[in-house]
Structure 1
Amino acid sequence: MKDRESLNLYFQDAIRDNWDLPALTDFGGATLTYKDVARKIAKLHLLYQESGIRPGDKVVLCAKNSSMWCVAFIGTLTYGAVIVPILADFKADNIQHLINHSDARLAIIDENIWEDLNPDGMRTLLGAISVRDFSMLHSNDEKLIHARRHLNEIFGRRYPDRFTPEDVVYHIDTKEELCLISYTSGSTGFSKGVMLPYRSLWSNVQFCIENIPTGPGDGVVCMLPLAHMYGLTIDMLRPFICGNHIHILTRTPSPRIIMEAFAKVHPRYIVTVPLIIEKIIRTRVFPMLEKPL
Structure 2
Amino acid sequence: MPSPSARQPEPQPGLIHRLPAHWAARTPDGEALAFEGHRWSWRQLADRTDRLRGALRTLGVRRGDRVAYLGRNDPACLETFLAAAGAGAATAVLNWRLAPAELAYVVADSGARVLLADTGRAAAARTALAALPDPPRLVVTGGADDTDGTADEPGTAYEPLLARAEPLPPAPDTAPDDTCLVLYTSGTTGFPKGAELTHRSLLSSCAALLSQVPFGPEDRNLVALPLFHVGGIGYALGGLFTGRPTELLRAPAPEAICRAVDEGATHLLLVPAMLPGVLRAGTEHTAAFARLRHCLYGASPMPLPLLREALSRFPDVRFVQVYGMTELSGAVTALDHATHRDPRQSHRLASAGRPLPGVETRVADPATGAAVPPGRTGELRVRTHQRMKGYLGRPEATAETVTEDGWLRTGDVVRVDDEGFVFVEDRLKDLIISGGENVYSAEVERVLVEHPAVAEAAVIGVPDEKWGESVLAVVAVRDGARIEESGLDAFCRTHLAGYKCPRGVAVVDGLPRNAAGKVDKNALRAAHGAVERVPRQLPRQPR
Same fold (TM > 0.5): yes
Whether 2:13 is the aligned partner of 1:4: answer yes
Corresponding residue for residue 243 of structure 2 = 243
1:125 pairs with one of 131, 135, 138: 135
Q: In 2 relative to 1, CA 192–137 (structure 1 residues): closer, same or farther, beyond 3 Å?
A: farther
Structural mapping, 1:177-216, within 5 Å: 177-215=178-216
Whether 2:70 is the aligned partner of 1:70: answer no
Q: In 2 relative to 1, CA 107–136 (structure 1 residues): closer, same or farther, beyond 3 Å?
A: farther
Gaps of 5+ in 2: 1-9, 288-308, 310-543
Is the CA contact (8 Å cut-off) linking 1:59 and 1:81 kept in structure 2?
yes
Structural mapping, 1:256-267, within 5 Å: 256-265=255-264, 267=265
Separation in 1, partners of 2:169, 2:213:
27
Q: Which amino acid aligns with 2:17?
A: N
**What SS does structure 1 have at the residue aligned with 2:52?**
helix
Gaps of 5+ in 1: 159-166
Q: In 2 relative to 1, CA 119–87 (structure 1 residues): closer, same or farther, beyond 3 Å?
A: closer
Whether 2:267 is the aligned partner of 1:269: answer yes
**Cα displacement (A) at 1:170:** 5.7
Separation in 1, partners of 2:134, 2:67:
11
1:15 pairs with one of 18, 24, 29: 24
Give a deviation string over 1:25-83, Cα, whole Å, max 9, x none: 113x3112222212211211111222321011110011101122221222221221111
Q: In 2 relative to 1, CA 63–35 (structure 1 residues): closer, same or farther, beyond 3 Å?
A: same
Give a deviation string over 1:146-170, Cα, whole Å, max 9, x none: x997864553xx6xxxxxxxx9656
% identity of equivalent residues: 20
Q: Which amino acid aligns with 1:66?
A: D
Is the CA contact (8 Å cut-off) linking 2:30 and 2:41 kept in structure 1?
yes
Is the CA contact (8 Å cut-off) linking 2:68 and 2:93 kept in structure 1?
yes
Corresponding residue for residue 121 of structure 2 = 113
What is the TM-score normalised by the length of structure 1?
0.79
Q: How many residues are matched?
A: 269
Q: Which amino acid aligns with 1:248?
A: L
Structural mapping, 1:162-177, within 5 Å: 169=170, 171=172, 173-177=174-178
Corresponding residue for residue 280 of structure 1 = 278
Corresponding residue for residue 162 of structure 1 = none
Whether 2:265 is the aligned partner of 1:255: answer no
Is the CA contact (8 Å cut-off) linking 2:84 and 2:180 kept in structure 1?
no
Is the CA contact (8 Å cut-off) linking 1:100 and 1:123 kept in structure 2?
no
Corresponding residue for residue 218 of structure 1 = 219
Q: Which amino acid aligns with 2:113?
A: R
Is the CA contact (8 Å cut-off) linking 1:62 and 1:85 kept in structure 2?
yes
Separation in 2, partners of 1:126, 1:168:
24
- Return structure 1 stretches of 4+ with deviation > 6 angstroms: 147-150
Is the CA contact (8 Å cut-off) linking 1:8 and 1:170 kept in structure 2?
no
**Cα displacement (A) at 1:257:** 2.0
Q: Higher relative CO (CA 8 A, sep ≥ 6), structure 1 or 2?
A: 1
**What SS does structure 1 have at the residue aligned with 2:28?**
coil
Q: In 2 relative to 1, CA 14–187 (structure 1 residues): closer, same or farther, beyond 3 Å?
A: same
Larger Rg: 1 or 2? Answer: 2
**Cα displacement (A) at 1:219:** 1.7
Q: Which amino acid aligns with 2:222?
A: V
What is the TM-score normalised by the length of structure 2?
0.45
Corresponding residue for residue 88 of structure 1 = 96
Q: In 2 relative to 1, CA 154–174 (structure 1 residues): closer, same or farther, beyond 3 Å?
A: closer
Corresponding residue for residue 233 of structure 1 = 234
Is the CA contact (8 Å cut-off) linking 1:10 and 1:241 kept in structure 2?
yes
Structure with more helix by fraction? 1
Whether 2:48 is the aligned partner of 1:40: answer yes
Separation in 1, partners of 2:129, 2:189:
26
Q: In 2 relative to 1, CA 153–26 (structure 1 residues): closer, same or farther, beyond 3 Å?
A: closer
Separation in 1, partners of 2:109, 2:220:
38
Separation in 2, partners of 1:108, 1:150:
12
Q: In 2 relative to 1, CA 259–150 (structure 1 residues): closer, same or farther, beyond 3 Å?
A: closer
